[in-house]
Amino acid sequence: MWDTATRIPFDPALMTERSGTAARIRLLALLTERPGITMDELSGMQLPGLFADLRCFLRAGLIRTSTTPPRLFERETRIYPVCDGAPDGVAPA
Protein backbone atom coordinates (compact mmCIF):
# COMPACT_ATOMS: atom_id res chain seq x y z
CA MET A 1 0.00 0.00 0.00
CA TRP A 2 1.31 3.44 -0.92
CA ASP A 3 1.50 5.74 2.12
CA THR A 4 0.28 9.05 0.69
CA ALA A 5 0.79 10.84 4.01
CA THR A 6 4.54 10.30 3.62
CA ARG A 7 4.99 9.66 -0.09
CA ILE A 8 3.88 11.46 -3.21
CA PRO A 9 1.72 9.33 -5.53
CA PHE A 10 3.32 9.19 -8.96
CA ASP A 11 3.02 7.65 -12.37
CA PRO A 12 6.00 5.31 -13.02
CA ALA A 13 6.45 6.97 -16.42
CA LEU A 14 7.62 10.10 -14.59
CA MET A 15 10.83 8.24 -13.75
CA THR A 16 11.76 7.91 -17.40
CA GLU A 17 10.10 10.84 -19.17
CA ARG A 18 12.53 13.74 -19.14
CA SER A 19 11.63 17.30 -19.98
CA GLY A 20 13.30 19.43 -22.63
CA THR A 21 16.57 21.28 -22.16
CA ALA A 22 14.86 24.61 -21.43
CA ALA A 23 12.65 23.02 -18.75
CA ARG A 24 15.67 21.35 -17.10
CA ILE A 25 17.47 24.71 -17.00
CA ARG A 26 14.40 26.33 -15.41
CA LEU A 27 14.16 23.53 -12.83
CA LEU A 28 17.83 23.88 -11.88
CA ALA A 29 17.37 27.67 -11.60
CA LEU A 30 14.33 27.11 -9.33
CA LEU A 31 16.34 24.78 -7.10
CA THR A 32 19.10 27.40 -6.87
CA GLU A 33 16.62 30.17 -6.04
CA ARG A 34 14.83 28.07 -3.40
CA PRO A 35 17.42 25.81 -1.73
CA GLY A 36 15.71 23.33 0.55
CA ILE A 37 12.44 23.20 -1.39
CA THR A 38 10.44 20.11 -0.44
CA MET A 39 9.46 17.37 -2.83
CA ASP A 40 5.83 18.07 -1.91
CA GLU A 41 6.20 21.65 -3.18
CA LEU A 42 7.97 20.54 -6.36
CA SER A 43 5.39 17.84 -7.05
CA GLY A 44 2.60 20.38 -6.58
CA MET A 45 4.04 22.47 -9.42
CA GLN A 46 3.36 19.57 -11.83
CA LEU A 47 6.59 20.13 -13.73
CA PRO A 48 6.95 17.83 -16.74
CA GLY A 49 9.65 15.20 -16.26
CA LEU A 50 10.32 16.30 -12.65
CA PHE A 51 11.37 12.96 -11.19
CA ALA A 52 13.49 11.89 -14.15
CA ASP A 53 15.18 15.31 -14.24
CA LEU A 54 15.92 15.15 -10.51
CA ARG A 55 17.46 11.69 -10.93
CA CYS A 56 19.58 13.07 -13.76
CA PHE A 57 20.71 16.01 -11.59
CA LEU A 58 21.60 13.63 -8.75
CA ARG A 59 23.68 11.42 -11.04
CA ALA A 60 25.47 14.51 -12.38
CA GLY A 61 26.19 15.76 -8.84
CA LEU A 62 24.24 19.01 -9.33
CA ILE A 63 21.84 18.52 -6.40
CA ARG A 64 21.68 16.73 -3.08
CA THR A 65 18.80 15.76 -0.82
CA SER A 66 18.16 16.02 2.91
CA THR A 67 17.85 12.22 3.04
CA THR A 68 20.43 9.50 2.53
CA PRO A 69 19.84 7.67 0.30
CA PRO A 70 17.85 10.20 -1.73
CA ARG A 71 14.12 9.65 -1.30
CA LEU A 72 12.60 11.68 -4.09
CA PHE A 73 9.11 10.33 -3.44
CA GLU A 74 8.87 11.39 0.20
CA ARG A 75 7.01 14.64 0.77
CA GLU A 76 9.42 16.05 3.38
CA THR A 77 12.60 15.38 1.38
CA ARG A 78 14.33 18.66 0.66
CA ILE A 79 16.36 19.37 -2.46
CA TYR A 80 19.50 21.53 -2.39
CA PRO A 81 21.74 22.70 -5.22
CA VAL A 82 25.40 21.71 -4.91
CA CYS A 83 27.56 24.83 -4.99
CA ASP A 84 31.35 24.90 -4.88
CA GLY A 85 32.68 26.44 -1.70
CA ALA A 86 29.39 26.38 0.23
CA PRO A 87 29.38 24.39 3.48
CA ASP A 88 28.00 20.88 2.93
CA GLY A 89 27.30 21.81 -0.68
CA VAL A 90 24.26 23.89 0.30
CA ALA A 91 23.81 27.31 -1.23
CA PRO A 92 23.13 30.06 1.32
CA ALA A 93 19.46 31.02 1.65
* Domain spans of the chain, in order of start: 12-83
Three-state SS for 64? strand
Q: Classify domain 12-83 at the CATH topology level.
A: Arc Repressor Mutant, subunit A (1.10.10)
At residue 9's C-alpha, the angle toward residues 91 and 59, to 5°, is 40
Tell me, what's the pLDDT at 5? 78
Q: What is the pLDDT of residues 41-91, one digit of tens each?
A: 999 898 888 999 999 999 999 999 999 999 988 999 999 999 743 444 444
Task: Give the separation between CA 11 and CA 92, rounded to whole angstroms.
Answer: 33
